[in-house]
Structure 1
Amino acid sequence: MKLFAESLMSELEHQLKLIHLETENPIQSAEQAIKNSVAALEKLKIFFIKHKRLNKTEEIEFFRNIKPKFASKLIYYNEIYTIETNKAFGSQKTIAKYYKAELLKLKVFFKKNQEFYRYYRTANNYLDTKYFVRTKYDLKLMVDSYYFQADHRFTTSHDYKVARILANDEIKVFLEEQIQKLGRKTITIQSPSSLPKGPKWTGSKVELIELIYALHTEGVFNNGASGLKEVTTFFEYSFNIDLGQFNRVFLEIRNRKSERTKFLNTLKNKLMIRMDEADEN
């Protein structure tokens, strides 16, 4: 089951990459991506239903970690298609306001499902037999209405909710990127040749992004008034480095299975060692 799913996901991701390379229009690419995602999910369903020798542990693994990855692709591209087709023509300010309203919808979902969100993100498993085993549901555990319309051979009470959480992470990144594009301004800065050369960042881009997010979260720039994009641009210029789609990198950092603040933990440990050595001298 796991090998089949991994192979199928690899094939789907390859197809999605090709779609994005060949189609710049977000509506057209989303439309094609939906078709591919539906086809992949249908293949997964057929294989799963025929595979009848799953024990409870394998069933939980499938509905908690495997199926949601496929379903999240479909949810994501369907939402992007809806967002882009409903986007009204107007000024940059009007469109930015529209995207911000869509971001607020994601926050509403988070608040409504905060308890389950925390359960899933902290890798708890004490309710997995209720959440991710078929034919079991408890209305007190916030079951989506989708569950009662779905094929119960291929659905549990909460696998869709996990898929929605994964999709929302990606939708948030998409919306933030669109808002950033609309808000970009031409900034005239002094020519680097006329400025003294500073130190070069020789760590990884991921480490620098982790550091930037930590500093920005603490509000150490302009008493917390500086925006994340402004701070990131400053670091890019200061170290002559292109951090690219830093929002997506941060999403990958958040999805680490262990040590989400890996670089910050390393900094803390090494600074403590340096202090200890200084105390000994």
Structure 2
Amino acid sequence: MNSKITLLLSNLNEQISFIDLEIDDTIHKCEKAIEIILISNNTLKKIITKNNFKSEQEEILFFKEIKPQFTSKLIYYNMIYKIEMKKPNGGHRILKKYYNNELIKLKAFFDNELEFYKYYRSGSIYLDYKYFLRGKFDIKMSLDSYYFETDRNFSTSHDFKVAKILANDLIQLYLENQLLIIDNKDTSEKSQHKPNIKMTWTGSKVALIELMYALHSEGVFNNGASDLKDIAEYFEHIFEIDLGQYRRAFLEIRARKSERTKFITALNDTLTKRMDNSDEVI
């Protein structure tokens, strides 16, 4: 059972990564992500329904650590979808107020669930038998009403709360990133200090596109929250270059018969040679 779930989660993460790479529009991206997450969650439920846990420890592990990884993705993309659908039309000031209000809502959840949040974040286990075993709920624990409407064979009193905590971490990151983007736009509209030296990209556009996709895949910008389109526009701005149809260029890179990561490989070889050169002056 564990191997099936591990493979299921791995495939889900891979599909979501592909969606993040290929779709720029946030709303469309959320729609596609939710679609595949629902399929994965349904498959996960079937696996659990057909198989019994070998021990209470295995059951606790599943509902405390494994299932929330699936559920949190659904919560995250559904919440981002709602946030973007309700986003008001207006200037930067209106948008900043909107995103800040969403952050306040996240804090409200944190305040309401402070006791359990501390328990989970501290790695405590002494109440796991109540929180993460099916049918072991305690009405005195101020349970959310939705719990009584869930499938008791596939839910415990607190597995959804864990998923909510994980999702909220990502939602907070998303909102803070949106605020940062707005601040950066505000700054760019004002006279800002610019380096005296202008850096011009003198390599090929294909090489820059290959580098751009590699950096996006590694998630090095804004903790991986930056869209590919944002990175492309940033590269075009700082290097004053038109990357054109970079998605088509990436398809051509991917279809190379020989070395697909030609530029990245060349970078690695060049840097390695430099490191190996004992006469190199740092």
Partner of 1:93: 93
Greater relative contact order (CA < 8 Å, ≥ 6 in sequence): 2
Q: Is the 8 A contact 2:132 2:158 kept in 1?
A: yes
Partner of 2:214: none
Partner of 1:278: none
- Relative to structure 1, is the Cα distance of residues 6 and 192 closer, same or farther in structure 2, using a 3 angstrom cutoff? farther
Establish whether residue 126 from structure 1 lines up as the match of residue 103 from structure 2.
no
How far apart, CA to CA, are the structure 2 residues paired with 1:52 and 1:2?
A: 12
How far apart, CA to CA, are the structure 1 residues paired with 2:82 and 2:194?
A: 43
Establish whether residue 188 from structure 1 lines up as the match of residue 192 from structure 2.
yes
Matches within 5 A, 1:136-215: 136-184=136-184, 185-186=187-188, 188-189=192-193, 191=195
Q: Is the 8 A contact 1:173 1:247 kept in 2?
A: no
For residue 97 of structure 1, give the secondary structure of its aligned residue in structure 2. Answer: helix
How far apart, CA to CA, are the structure 2 residues paired with 1:59 and 1:244?
A: 37
Q: Is the 8 A contact 2:53 2:59 kept in 1?
A: no
Partner of 1:244: 221
Residue 6 of structure 1 and its aligned partner are, at CA, apart by 1.6
Displaced runs of 4+ in structure 1, greater than 4 A? none
Deviation string 1:182-231 (CA, Å, 9 cap, x unpaired) is 1111263353659xxxxxxxxxxxxxxxxxxxxxxxxxxxxxxxxxxxxx
Partner of 2:256: none
Residue identity in the other structure for 1:22: E
How far apart, CA to CA, are the structure 2 residues paired with 1:137 and 1:4?
A: 28
Q: Is the 8 A contact 1:27 1:81 kept in 2?
A: yes
How far apart, CA to CA, are the structure 1 residues paired with 2:194 and 2:28?
A: 41
- The unaligned stretches of length 5 or more in structure 2 are 199-219, 226-282
Deviation string 1:39-62 (CA, Å, 9 cap, x unpaired) is 111111100111124310100000
Deviation string 1:170-189 (CA, Å, 9 cap, x unpaired) is 00000000111111112633
Partner of 1:46: 46
Deviation string 1:58-91 (CA, Å, 9 cap, x unpaired) is 0000000000000000000000111010111111
- The unaligned stretches of length 5 or more in structure 1 are 195-242, 249-281
Question: What TM-score do the two structures reach when normalised by structure 1?
Answer: 0.68
Taking only the aligned residue pairs, the percentage that are identical comes to 43
Deviation string 1:131-180 (CA, Å, 9 cap, x unpaired) is 00001111222312221110000000000000000000000000000111
Residue identity in the other structure for 1:189: H
How far apart, CA to CA, are the structure 2 residues paired with 1:246 and 1:67?
A: 24
How far apart, CA to CA, are the structure 1 residues paired with 2:82 and 2:66?
A: 25
Residue 22 of structure 1 and its aligned partner are, at CA, apart by 1.6
Establish whether residue 135 from structure 1 lines up as the match of residue 139 from structure 2.
no
Residue 123 of structure 1 and its aligned partner are, at CA, apart by 0.5
For residue 38 of structure 2, give the secondary structure of its aligned residue in structure 1. Answer: helix
Q: How many residues align?
A: 201
Question: What TM-score do the two structures reach when normalised by structure 2?
Answer: 0.68
Residue identity in the other structure for 2:100: K
Residue identity in the other structure for 2:154: F
